Amino acid sequence: MPLPKSFTQLINNLSILPGVGEKTAERYAYALCQKDKDEVENLADSLINFKKTIRNCEICGCLSDENICDICSDENRDKKTICIVEDSKSVFFIEKTKKYNGCFHVINGLISPIDGINPEDLNIHTLLNRVENEVKEVIFALNPSIEGEVTSLYIQKLLEKYNLKISRLSYGIPMGGEIEYLDPLMISKALEDRKVIS
């Protein structure tokens, strides 16, 4: 006997989740058999509601339930400082630190010609509109990968003509890390970015 049709349909549809293959989807489906109807319906409702509600902020591109996200519409945030990040995940991650009061700009990816991602595929042009106005500093918080460096350089070139302070997160040894286990590249970066303490 093959699996019931409603069961295989669910397994197929669960496979759109990242890292979920047939085996995991099957495990999820068996577990959902045991769950209350309400719980499963809530999950289905929140999936539909999520897809209907979630959008990108018209100013910074961050995920939001509204057209303008909470940060861009917050009068108390410093609109003169923009932190450039790869994706919305980075925004929420940096927000957790509670140490940054500026705004963000989500470029939604990194330049990577090998994967067919060119500058025009990213949310960069809206950044230029933003910096034309009141912005004083742009902080790069992209991943320290080749793609991150390339993207950062590309945007820096575009920003040259504006009178801006441009910075990036410091590279260095991670807190709690042990120097002997770090790779030479990281140590050389930490040397370059060394901080005068007296």
35 binds a copy of itself, rule: CB under 8 A? yes
How would you classify the pairing of strands 63-64 and 55-56? Answer: antiparallel
Q: Single out the residue of 28, 79, 137, 186 in contact with a copy of itself (rule: CB under 8 A).
A: 28
Q: Which residue lies nearer to a copy of itself by CB, 37 or 161?
A: 37
14 binds a copy of itself, rule: CB under 8 A? yes
- Tell me how many residues contact a copy of itself (CB under 8 A): 54
Cβ-based neighbours of 141, under 8 Å, separated by 6 or more:
83, 84, 85, 90, 94, 168, 169
Supply angle C-alpha 23, 24, 26, rounded to 5.
Answer: 65
How would you classify the pairing of strands 63-64 and 102-106? Answer: unpaired
CB of 68 to a copy of itself, least distance (A): 12
Q: How far apart are CA 86 and CA 74, in angstroms?
A: 22
Residue 59 near residue 69 (C-beta atoms within 8 A): yes
Residue 57 in tokens: 């902020």
**How buried is 24 (Cβ within 10 angstroms: 0-12 exposed, 13-18 middle, 19+ buried)?**
middle
CB of 123 to a copy of itself, least distance (A): 14
Part of the chain binding a copy of itself (CB under 8 A), chosen from 10-18, 120-128, 148-156, 177-185: 10-18
85 binds a copy of itself, rule: CB under 8 A? no
Q: Single out the residue of 5, 23, 99, 161 in contact with a copy of itself (rule: CB under 8 A).
A: 5
Window 88 to 147, contacts with a copy of itself (CB under 8 A): 88-89, 91-92, 95
Binding site for a copy of itself (CB under 8 A): 1-7, 9-10, 12-14, 16-19, 27-33, 35, 37, 39-51, 53-54, 62-65, 69-71, 74, 87-89, 91-92, 95
